Amino acid sequence: MTKIFNDPAEFAEEALAGFCDVHSDLVRQVSGGAVRRYRPAQPKVAVLAGGGSGHYPAFSGLIGTGLADGAVVGNIFTSPSAQQAYSVAKAAESGAGVVFTYGNYAGDVMNFGMASERLAAEGIAVENVLVTDDIASAPPSETEKRRGIAGDFTVFKVLGAAAERGDSLAEVVRLGRKANRRTRTIGSAFAGCTFPGAEAPLFSLPDGQMGLGLGIHGEPGLHDTGLPSAKELGQELVGRLLAETPESAGERIAVILNGLGATKHEELFVLWGTVAPLLRAEGYTLVMPEVGELVTSLDMAGVSLTVTWLDEELEPLWVAPAETPAYRRGNAARETGGAAVEGTSDGGASAADFDATEASRGYAATCVAAIEAARTALHEAEERLGRMDAIAGDGDHGRGMVRGVDAASAAASAALEQGAGAGDVLAAAGDAWADKAGGTSGVLWGAGLRAWGESLGNAEVPGPRELAAGVAAFANRIVQLGKAETGDKTMVDALLPFTAAFSRLVAEGTGQAAAWEEAAQAAAGAAQATAALLPLKGRARPLAEKSLGTPDPGATSLAMIFAVIGPHVTGAAVPPGPSVREPVGAQQQ
């Protein structure tokens, strides 16, 4: 929905004026659109992109060295007039001819065609390069009927780079048409866009639906399907594009994963995580791929995938530098002289040499089983914990705990397999928990588990007193880091009653299994009692009043975990077999 406008009818013009003001170092507003601020030193072919507004950064955002010489700017989703095209061409032309380039739409074809006739009559050499990349818009036997969508960008880039290096008009046009013949795009829409001032989007999709084969003027997809996962979407887009691989295609491709305006970059990166490996698996080398917004459709939610099959002529033009308001491609980063670093790095240590007694390794297996029990319980409680956190917090407690315990469980199992003792297993679990969980509770659980592991060591199987010391180390670390006090309405409100009860019972000579069980009940009661408290720490504090009547999520999850790990850590449970990990998440789907 567009919120910032004056008269909706003036929107495109006002936007262009603002754009030209902010980028006045690179562009200059002229009648009908905008052109580069600086005239070329030598005559060069003027590449003029155009079409309606509503597609930023297409088309005015692409004016600059290595790309367009000017943009002809129509109203929203409306072809510019022949007069506009003519006057922009007159402003940009420097004696080597003009090429108009645009997506294949009837209005554009007519208006740019008429402007071309007028320019030609004045003796200016002029050509038109139409973009027809959208494979959903006509069958392969009628490619000339296809409309232009995000493939505009690769075609413009090739034209712009060829003109910049001084190619003749005929050569620029030949290369541009070749790029177009080797470019394919397929898109999908999730939600329609809304014109400034309009009350409803141009189309809408039922919840959970996606339109495959979108257009960039708010045209919905050509057919609707259920909303797939990112992975399925990536497979669908790649599959459809590769089915149209041009003849004589090589192994090097330019790729654009384009957002339509309301689809976040993060979503595009998630999708890229499927798209890129699929293309590489087909033997392709991805040359300077682009993921972002290059050709949008107002605030439409959707994506498109474009592939241009490069060859030895097109690749240098695709990778050539460009500097425009919305798009910069340089070689500064590569020219700094340092060597490129290969591979990814998480800064983590490699498998440590673990030093542990057999007894401690045995107890380590029990710890792994305890974490596994916590994992099962947290997966079951994920949604409930999230709802509790959403009342006054941000709703992520269930998700955070699940991420944390999943990572902890995997790390603990891996450490055990490498021969770690119990202390190292808990420390590894804690580090992984803190790394993956995020959130306040993640840091605290992670650091607490590591402290517990350090207290435990890798030699002895803990008796009641060592167990009490381990739990105390866990609690102290959490209090030291989080600085919460009893009554602040945090997990500490369940944790401290647990440690107090367990130490007391153990000191009184109660068996550790029974002591644990009784202490866990105290923690559960204390967690429940936090319902009456106002949060004084953490994210729930600003909305404290709202949280009255609901127990603290962190205290609730802590009490729950302590209840289920008891039989394991106290040795009351039967020791587990070698393979205890079940895909718990799968049961939740």
- Catalytically active residues are 217
Is there binding between residue 244 and Mg ion (CB under 5 A)?
A: no
Is there binding between residue 394 and Mg ion (CB under 5 A)?
A: yes
Q: Which residue number, 97 or 482, has a Cβ lying nearer to ligand ADP?
A: 482
| Residue 127 tokens, joined | 């050509």
Residues making contact with ligand ADP (CB under 6 A): 389, 393-394, 396-397, 400, 439-441, 444, 482-484, 490-492, 537-539, 552-555
Q: Which residue number, 359 or 531, has a Cβ lying nearer to Mg ion?
A: 531
What does 552 interact with, of ligand ADP, Mg ion, none (CB < 5 to 8 A by kind)?
ligand ADP
Residue 485 burial (CB count, 10 A): 13
Q: Which residue number, 218 or 386, has a Cβ lying nearer to Mg ion?
A: 386
Closest CA to 422 of 374, 466, 459, 371: 459
Asked if 525 and 370 count as a contact pair (C-beta separation under 8 A), the reply is no
Asked if 310 and 12 count as a contact pair (C-beta separation under 8 A), the reply is no
Residue 176 burial (CB count, 10 A): 29
What does 80 interact with, of ligand ADP, Mg ion, none (CB < 5 to 8 A by kind)?
none
Residue whose C-beta lies closest to ligand ADP:
554
Q: Which residue number, 23 or 375, has a Cβ lying nearer to ligand ADP?
A: 375
What does 581 interact with, of ligand ADP, Mg ion, none (CB < 5 to 8 A by kind)?
none
Among 55, 184, 397, 403, binds Mg ion (CB under 5 A): 397
DSSP-assigned letters across all residues of 9-40: GGHHHHHHHHHHHHTTTTEEEETTEEEESSPP
Residues of this chain, 370-389, that bind Mg ion according to CB under 5 A: 389
Q: Measured at the alpha carbon of residue 255, what is the angle toward residues 252 and 257, in degrees to the nearest 5?
A: 165
Least distance in angstroms from the C-beta of 450 to Mg ion: 22
Least distance in angstroms from the C-beta of 412 to ligand ADP: 20
What does 470 interact with, of ligand ADP, Mg ion, none (CB < 5 to 8 A by kind)?
none
Q: Give the whole-angstrom CA distance, residue 536 versus residue 558.
A: 18
Least distance in angstroms from the C-beta of 495 to Mg ion: 18
H-only helix segments in 308-438:
314-319, 358-392, 397-417, 422-437
Residue 329 phi, psi dihedral angles, 5° rounding: -135, 115
Q: Which residue number, 260 or 491, has a Cβ lying nearer to ligand ADP?
A: 491
Q: Give the whole-angstrom CA distance, residue 575 versus residue 173.
A: 75
Closest CA to 3 of 181, 189, 197, 167: 197
Q: Which residue number, 329 or 384, has a Cβ lying nearer to Mg ion?
A: 384
Is there binding between residue 393 and Mg ion (CB under 5 A)?
A: yes
Q: Which residue number, 202 or 529, has a Cβ lying nearer to ligand ADP?
A: 529
Least distance in angstroms from the C-beta of 539 to ligand ADP: 4
Q: Give the whole-angstrom CA distance, residue 34 versus residue 20.
A: 8
Residues of this chain, 341-360, that bind Mg ion according to CB under 5 A: none
Least distance in angstroms from the C-beta of 518 to ligand ADP: 23
Asked if 49 and 156 count as a contact pair (C-beta separation under 8 A), the reply is yes
Helix (H) / strand (E) element for 190: namely strand 183-191
Contacts of 274 (CB under 8 A, 6+ apart): 230, 231, 233, 234, 235, 238
Among 127, 134, 396, 552, binds Mg ion (CB under 5 A): 396
Q: Which residue number, 46 or 533, has a Cβ lying nearer to ligand ADP?
A: 533
Q: Over 88-104, what HEC string results?
A: HHHHHCCCCCEEEEEEC
Least distance in angstroms from the C-beta of 389 to Mg ion: 4
Asked if 368 and 425 count as a contact pair (C-beta separation under 8 A), the reply is yes
| Residue 298 tokens, joined | 């107002």
What does 173 interact with, of ligand ADP, Mg ion, none (CB < 5 to 8 A by kind)?
none
What does 490 interact with, of Mg ion, ligand ADP, none (CB < 5 to 8 A by kind)?
ligand ADP
Contacts of 191 (CB under 8 A, 6+ apart): 201, 204, 205, 262, 300, 301, 302
What does 464 interact with, of ligand ADP, Mg ion, none (CB < 5 to 8 A by kind)?
none
Q: Which residues bind Mg ion (CB under 5 A)?
A: 389, 393-394, 396-397
